[in-house]
């Protein structure tokens, strides 16, 4: 475990605005109405406007330059995380190009493709999602389970990692059948309302849900209700439904990013692949980590048993081992028994945060898989449920600007915060953690 410490100030996202004087000048110059209309629509609390929307040379006092990181200062000479520069509105992708990306046909016969450099290390299921954003999770799992997809001529598991140069045999693919009726059943209407109640942010391309604890993101053995299945009620007339971009554990609550179009799915999947997305989690852990800020770097590998499977700490070179890096920071402690910890995963391995906190002997409270503290009693009034929240997600928007969404504490964690006297509006020091 390594210590990190940055004497940096808290970075703030500044909402872009245009003064009345600027608007008068623009009208005098005969700017078209569509440009004015765009200005009037912009800037929800969750999505910042692009810095180039003001005239060159104009900047508000204290405003960051375009390309600055949302969390921390960047090392000199290092390229910005959001590698693609912000485009002017006039430089947006042509509609024809967007249409081509959105309507990329699925293969109707067997084809073999080669894994590229950018795809090296990707999981099989995410490789398919990136190549064919229109595919449903259930369809991907079906072709993998049946052995229709082959890697170098051999069967593969959906969680296997691909290597550059491998050949992947892809069977004929199809989109799920479009809905034939424009009306929803009573059950579907309730599901749609449930999704609306979970919504933290939504526009034409992106949806961010506040997933409650206990609701699975995807289906599994004996699973009848999960987010991917619930999204069926949002399928459009062309048969397209919103697509999952990433996943969080069933018992973890908080921000879950959904792409509403193929164009957005392709863009956002790429943002995760190139680590342009930033995720912050909050957890309540046993004891108080020392030092109070640190970096956890290990290898993780899956360990299967008859009853369950967990991620174990592995050595470099072990079969199935993947490198995992997590930054943590203690936000506030409750005596020496409990601590509120903020976590920033650099990588996205299964159960990474849960395994890492258990590894440094500060397991997350209520974790049924990884809590390993002997003779440790849960303080009275706290529920024995996983105290882990996907607190915040920051990611480039497919059409420019940045999505920045935060989720509130779920009921069981809010109860614990109140009982322990923790102040949920405290400054989060993980803001200043490094990016790698």
Domain boundaries, the chain: 105-170, 186-239+248-266, 278-432
Q: Which of 117, 137, 110, 134 is nearest to 125 (CA)?
A: 137
Specify whether the CB–CB gap between 86 and 66 falls below 8 A.
yes
Angle, alpha carbons 61-62-66 (nearest 5°)? 105
pLDDT at 91 over 80: no
pLDDT digits (tens, 9 = 90+) for 211-269: 999 999 987 766 778 999 999 899 877 777 899 999 999 999 999 999 998 889 989 99
Catalytic annotation, pick one of 125, 205, 249, 367: 249
Fold matches, 186-239+248-266 and 278-432: yes
| Architecture of domain 105-170 in this structure | Roll (3.10)
CA distances from 111 to 128, 315, 355 (A): 13, 37, 39
pLDDT at 63 over 80: no
Q: DSSP letter for 154, please.
A: E
Please give the CATH topology (third level) of the domain spanning 278-432: Pseudouridine synthase (3.30.2350)
Instruction: Quickly state the pLDDT bin for 139 (edges 50, 70, 90).
Output: confident
Residues of the chain with pLDDT > 90, as a percent, come to 49
pLDDT for 305 equals 81
**Residue 231, phi then psi, degrees to nearest 5:** -70, -10
Torsion angle defined by CA atoms of residues 381, 210, 43 and 235, in that order, rounded to the nearest 10 degrees: -170
Instruction: Quickly state the pLDDT bin for 21 (edges 50, 70, 90).
Output: low
Question: Residue 249 catalytic?
Answer: yes
Its CATH class, for the domain covering 186-239+248-266, is alpha beta
Instruction: Quickly state the pLDDT bin for 53 (edges 50, 70, 90).
Output: very low
Q: Which of 280, 260, 281 is nearest to 397 (CA)?
A: 260
Instruction: Quickly state the pLDDT bin for 80 (edges 50, 70, 90).
Output: very low
Residue with tokens 């959105």: 102
Q: What does the mean pLDDT of the chain come to?
A: 79
């Amino acid at each position: 475990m390594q210590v990190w410490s940055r004497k940096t100030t808290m970075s703030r996202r500044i909402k872009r605005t245009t003064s009345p004087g600027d608007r008068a000048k623009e009208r005098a110059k005969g700017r078209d109405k569509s440009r004015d209309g765009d200005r009037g629509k912009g800037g929800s609390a969750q999505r910042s406007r692009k810095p180039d929307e003001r005239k060159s040379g104009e900047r508000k006092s204290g405003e960051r330059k375009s390309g600055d990181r949302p969390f921390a200062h960047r090392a000199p000479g290092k390229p910005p995380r959001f590698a693609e520069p912000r485009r002017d509105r006039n430089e947006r992708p042509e509609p024809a190009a967007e249409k081509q990306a959105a309507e990329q046909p699925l293969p109707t016969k067997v084809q073999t493709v080669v894994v590229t450099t950018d795809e090296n290390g990707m999981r099989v299921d995410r490789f398919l999602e990136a190549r064919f954003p229109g595919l449903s999770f259930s369809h991907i799992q079906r072709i993998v389970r049946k052995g229709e997809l082959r890697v170098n001529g051999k069967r593969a598991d959906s969680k296997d990692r691909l290597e550059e140069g491998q050949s992947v045999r892809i069977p004929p693919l199809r989109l799920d059948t479009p809905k034939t009726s424009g009306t929803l059943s009573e059950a579907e209407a309730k599901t749609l309302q449930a999704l609306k109640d979970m919504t933290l942010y939504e526009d034409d391309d992106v949806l961010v849900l506040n997933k409650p604890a206990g609701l699975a993101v995807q289906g599994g053995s004996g699973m009848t209700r999960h987010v991917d299945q619930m999204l069926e009620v949002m399928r459009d007339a062309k048969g397209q439904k919103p697509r999952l971009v990433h996943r969080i554990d069933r018992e973890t609550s908080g921000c879950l990013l959904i792409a509403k179009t193929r164009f957005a799915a392709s863009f956002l999947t790429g943002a995760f692949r190139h680590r342009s997305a930033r995720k912050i989690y909050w957890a309540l852990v046993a004891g108080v980590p020392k030092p109070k800020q640190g970096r956890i770097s290990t290898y993780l590998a899956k360990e299967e048993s008859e009853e369950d499977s967990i991620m174990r700490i592995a050595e470099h070179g072990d079969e199935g081992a993947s490198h995992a890096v997590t930054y943590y920071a203690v936000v506030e402690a409750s005596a020496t028994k409990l601590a509120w910890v903020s976590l920033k995963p650099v990588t996205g391995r299964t159960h990474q945060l849960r395994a890492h906190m258990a590894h440094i002997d500060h397991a997350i409270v209520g974790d049924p898989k990884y809590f390993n503290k002997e003779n440790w009693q849960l303080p009275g009034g706290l529920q024995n449920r996983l105290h882990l929240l996907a607190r915040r997600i920051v990611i480039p928007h497919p059409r420019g600007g940045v999505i920045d969404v935060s989720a509130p504490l779920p009921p069981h964690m809010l109860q614990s915060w109140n009982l322990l006297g923790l102040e949920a509006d405290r400054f989060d020091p993980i803001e200043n953690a490094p990016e790698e």
